[in-house]
Structure 1
Amino acid sequence: MKKIICPTDFSKAATNAVEFAAIIAGRVGASITLLHVLHLPILDTTETAMVASEVLSEQRRHAQEKLHALSHYLSEKHRAEHLQIDYLVKESLLGDEVKRLTETQGYDMVVIGSTGGGNTLEEILVGSNTAAVIERVKCPVLTVPLKALPAPFQRMVYASNYEKEDSFALQQVLQFAHLFGAKVEIVHVSAEASEQSKANRFRERLRQELPDFALEFHEVIHPDEVEGMKKYLAEKNADLLAILKKRRGFFHNLFSQSFSEQLTYQSKLPMLIIHEP
């Protein structure tokens, strides 16, 4: 990992995410780019355009000042790690801009705060801007809730559906965990016990595909998959949940309306989203 991009709107949640990015960058010697996006106004007259241009120019100046101060603060706080930090101010939509930058500038990870709020469950969990970034980019995304404490990770949980793509995602999760010396547990939650032969085949295949890692598997039986995962995370004091993002599957269930009454714990837990190759 060489380059991390960290969008910020200067909120407390965004600043907390920047702290996590600094910890990660310090471990691997990666650079950090702080990104602030200004939204272009809708214009209907020439006069409106002139006023909007002046407002946008002022917003850009203020954003650059804040980014400069934030980068200086991080450099001083993490002086021992010799962090390389730069910053950008762009006029665009956040999801579009992060997608463009990750694809053209070779960023390896997005670290972004999750504030909550909004009308849909997905927006409540990660915020509409964060959801837009997750949907648009292909590189791993680390979402950081406001209440998550910036500290090296110790126990990570990967939510598995016994799918062939798990090998791809797990390789990235395990490499990320190695940076912190963190333990990774592969957890499958289902309403009833899985067919043993299927579980054994899955585990053996992963051991063959990932021979350099000690893999630990757990199966949780619970009538509600998401509630079962929530309970497991709480009991094990996990500090990160990693998931594979697909069009359907566990990630989809995580954002379903049935999860709306079970947000309390997850809202405090960073999530590492690995996109399906």
Structure 2
Amino acid sequence: MKKILFPTDFSEVANNAFVHALHFAKVVNAELILLHTFELPIIDNQFTPDNYYAIFDSLQLAQFDMFKNEIPKLRELAQKNHLENIKLSHKLMDGDLIYSIKKAIREEKIDFIVMGTSGATGWESFFIGSNTGAVVTALDVPVLSIPLEAQFTKIEIIGFTTRFREKDKSALRQVIKIAKKTHAVVKCLYVKTSKSDVSEATINEWKTEFENEPVQFSIINSDLVKETILDFISHKNIDILAMITHKRNFFSELFKPSLTQKFSNISTVPVLAMHEE
């Protein structure tokens, strides 16, 4: 059984993503490990009273109580979606969010991460801002990010961006496995720019290799790569977009407001960020 790490701050954004995480767990036959992180304040003990450690104990207890109170709400949400059979476990960790996620990945041998794309207490910096690409590519497992506006619907069409590199094939095969479990079609997009060096022979070789799979290929000539991808999502009714994070800055640039405001529905599409092998 695979393992999905679900970091949560129990916000509306996170609870919406939890529904997606439950359904994704069912598709890939996985258990969910809920992770809540918190950071204790740095206090110079030279200037604090004798109950210095009591302060930290009380703060930790408050976090634990909040965690304990929120878990039943998530279980109720699972029951409401008829997914109460998905195995759930929990981790409460003190420390930086990214450090804690990396530690949990190592300790639990995580296969996927599912999380909302924004939230409270430092979560905005995970997916929003100039460090987005760096953060996503720093993790060793695929990350499925869920915008608040993305209400769960059955996965019928998965978009996959490729440059027809040999090493893209393993990611595509992983996406195909997910697609088959939900009876979805994978629509692959290659944006052929004026600087593209992919030959027709390579493209035809890919089409031949995957001709018996639920895969369709689209080759679009354009130098506006990001805009073309967003247009592709809109016109092909993509339910999830799978991307390989081969460019650290590309992932974050794709979701800059200056671009996304032109395509209002991009905010409703979950994105699966995959990593080069």
TM range (shorter): 0.7 to 0.9
**1:188-213 deviation per Cα after TM superposition (whole angstroms, max 9, x unaligned):** 11334956x714314414743x5752
Specify whether residues 75 and 116 from structure 1 end up closer, same or farther in structure 2 by C-alpha distance, changes over 3 A only: closer
Q: Could you tell me which amino acid in structure 1 is paired with residue 252 of structure 2?
A: F
1:261 is displaced (CA, Å) by: 0.9
**1:235-261 deviation per Cα after TM superposition (whole angstroms, max 9, x unaligned):** 111111110112x2xx63342389541
Structure 2: give runs of 5+ residues left out of the alignment: none
1:94 matched to 2:91? The reply is: no
Question: TM-score w.r.t. structure 2 length?
Answer: 0.84
Which residue matches 2:201? 200
1:78 is displaced (CA, Å) by: 4.2
For 1:62-101, what aligned pairs fall within 5 Å after superposition?
A: 62-70=66-74, 72-79=75-82, 82-101=85-104
Q: Could you tell me which amino acid in structure 2 is paired with residue 267 of structure 1?
A: S
Structure 1: give runs of 5+ residues left out of the alignment: none
Q: Of the candidates 166, 177, 192, which is equivalent to residue 179 of structure 2?
A: 177
Q: Percent identity?
A: 26
1:126 is displaced (CA, Å) by: 4.2
Q: Of the candidates 50, 57, 65, which is equivalent to residue 54 of structure 2?
A: 50
Specify whether residues 67 and 124 from structure 1 end up closer, same or farther in structure 2 by C-alpha distance, changes over 3 A only: closer
Question: TM-score w.r.t. structure 1 length?
Answer: 0.84
1:124 is displaced (CA, Å) by: 9.1
Which residue matches 1:263? 260
Question: 3-state SS of the aligned residue for 2:230?
Answer: helix
CA distance in 2, matches of 1:9, 1:74: 15
Aligned pairs, number: 269
Specify whether residues 191 and 211 from structure 1 end up closer, same or farther in structure 2 by C-alpha distance, changes over 3 A only: closer
For 1:1-277, what aligned pairs fall within 5 Å after superposition?
A: 2-45=2-45, 46-47=48-49, 48-70=52-74, 72-79=75-82, 82-115=85-118, 123=125, 126=128, 134-192=136-194, 198-205=199-206, 207-208=208-209, 213-246=213-246, 248=247, 252-256=249-253, 259-264=256-261, 265=264, 266-277=266-277
**1:139-162 deviation per Cα after TM superposition (whole angstroms, max 9, x unaligned):** 111000000011221111111122
CA distance in 2, matches of 1:28, 1:79: 17
Q: Could you tell me which amino acid in structure 1 is paired with residue 59 of structure 2?
A: V
How large is the RMSD of aligned CA atoms in angstroms? 3.1
User: Does the Cα contact within 8 Å between 2:31 and 2:88 map onto a contact in 1?
Assistant: yes
Question: 3-state SS of the aligned residue for 2:258?
Answer: coil
Q: Could you tell me which amino acid in structure 2 is paired with residue 180 of structure 1?
A: T
CA distance in 2, matches of 1:202, 1:191: 15
